[in-house]
A and B are shown apart, each in its own frame.
Chain A
Amino acid sequence: MTVNEIQNDIIEEFGVLTDWMDRYSLLIELGNELNDFDETYRVEQNLIEGCQSKVWLHAWMENGKIHYVADSDAIIVKGIIALLIKVLNGRTPDEILSSDLYFIDRIGLKEHLSPTRSNGLVAMVKQMRLYALAFKSIKN
């Protein structure tokens, strides 16, 4: 599946939930399911500190594709992280760099990716792209 096919799937999944409580309930569920974070990655250099919540992000390259693991202390943030990873994990640097993450807006979570929210998510997306850029230059 392409980046956009996955995004469209997510939009559809959230689209059937008309009540905000159901959407956040799903987000909390996704956050709770994101439990694969290896404690050895919970280090200072992986920490993206927002004013309101913390995010840890680790990435590595395997067979030309980038893999991400991430965690947060806030569940809603973690739920959004789960979605971002679903969309961008296992992609080539070029796919990641050229991606337009429109699904966030379409499922009504745009506010969480606003710089004023200071929850670490904006910086996390930026960091995911920076990893792609770094791995791309290593490869070249």
Chain B
Amino acid sequence: MIFPINNIRNDFPILHRKVNGKPLVYFDNGATTQKPVAVIKAMEEAVFEYNSNIHRGVHTLSNVCTEAFEKAREKVARFIGAAHTHEVIFTRGTTESINLVTSSFGEMFLNANDEIILTEMEHHSNIVPWQLLQKRKGVRLNIVPIRDDGTLDMETFDAFLCENTKLVTIAHISNVLGTVNPVNEIVEKAHQRGIPVLIDGAQAIQHLSVNVTDLDCDFYAFSGHKMYAPTGIGILYGKEKWLNRMEPYHGGGEMIKHVSFKGTTFNELPYKFEAGTPNYTAAIGLGAAIDYIESVGLVNIREYENMLFDYAISRMSEIENVTFYGTSAHRTSLISFLLNGIHPFDTGTLLDKMGIAVRTGHHCAQPLMKRLNIQGTVRASFAMYNTCEEVDALINGLVKVRQLFG
């Protein structure tokens, strides 16, 4: 099949604008993706045609809005292959999803001296919540180191697994290195000892076909805005058996069955974890984003993005004096690098002058930067609407940066 790149680009109006007088080349998709018209239309319709607070309402608009919201949940459940729709919890994003597990699962199942395994390549959002739990409850954190190619040191992972281990929490794809971690193997090994696994899928959900049932993970967290949906909406998938036993995260309306000052009973899943009015407009937008991704086909997207990634790697290797961070064969969607002797801030600033948006700095992964012994990297991250011509623009840009430095 020929990938309909021109049609796709036309669906994203922002891609046609200029930045600093140059056509925009947007390679900061790992931070957030742009939104297709269909997503905005769905949200516009929700706001202008049937906006009303969901659930509880007896009137027509409330029912229509509730149906649209729950339909979005069904789409997410189907998209990730969840066994039950009520295993899909709406959150504000990956960060909140992880914090929900830390609070509710942590409160219920983790105690002093219990061990949690995480890795050196985690984003701060999968480190700091656990450090807070460490403070509160005295749990221990075992950090799996990385090898020089940016893959996990699985021997150390194996050695960490023991009877005290109560949770493994790990990124599906590293936001700095692009490494695709062996999550199947990790889940299998953890489960052999009855240890649950949380996967931070923020960088994976928009690139890989994720099936939580096949993967058999216990929790899977991701954000809408990195998969062409709006900001402020995210997902926590959790296995029913855990979610049922976990305490609510926030208290408030919607999440209760009955409230009295003698005692309160909680609503059933998933509402138990969705206190207050959720961002239903954004949830409807997320549903539309899934429709959009499925209309293009995740398999086609993957194939196209792989081609783009391979092209970018081969073109990048033409530039002299570049250091790549993350060189594993199992990586995807992004390239982290430094032009030797040039600070990432300088590279990023000069590329911006040429209309090219990349991310620079520590990428919210300071422990990983320490391991790599650098202050930061330049990161170009791809989405389905990027093109080989844009990769060429990046290469020309980098050549110019080099020239400016003489």
Contacts and interface: CB of A to CB of B under 8 A. Distances in A.
A24 to B, nearest CB: 6
Contacts of B362: 51
A53 B345 contact: yes
Interface in B319-354: 342-346, 348-350, 353
A80 to B, nearest CB: 11
A77 interface: yes
A73 interface: yes
B345 A77 contact: yes
A77 B344 CA distance: 12
B101 to A, nearest CB: 27
Q: Which of A25, A28, A52, A76 has the most B CB atoms < 10 Å from its CB? A: A52
Given A21-B404, A52-B361, A75 B343 contact: yes
| Chain B interface bracket (under 10, 10 to 19, 20 to 34, 35 or more) | 10 to 19
Contact of B346 (A20, A21, A51, A74): A74
| Chain A interface bracket (under 10, 10 to 19, 20 to 34, 35 or more) | 10 to 19
A13 B339 CA distance: 29
B360 A52 contact: yes
B404 A74 contact: no
A7 interface: no
A119 B345 contact: yes
A74 B345 contact: yes
A52 B345 contact: yes
A63 B375 CA distance: 39
Nearest to B400: A21
Contact of A76 (B346, B361, B400, B406): B346
Contacts of A20: 20, 353
Given A20-B353, A24-B353, A53 B404 contact: no
Contacts of B48: none
Given A28-B404, A28-B405, A75-B346, 11 more contacts: A21-B400, A24-B353, A28-B406, A52-B344, A52-B360, A52-B361, A73-B375, A74-B343, A74-B346, A75-B343, A76-B345
10 contacts: A21-B400, A21-B404, A24-B350, A28-B405, A52-B360, A52-B361, A53-B345, A74-B343, A77-B345, A112-B349
Interface of A: 20-21, 24-25, 28, 51-54, 73-77, 112, 119
Interface of B: 20, 342-346, 348-350, 353, 360-362, 375-376, 400, 404-406
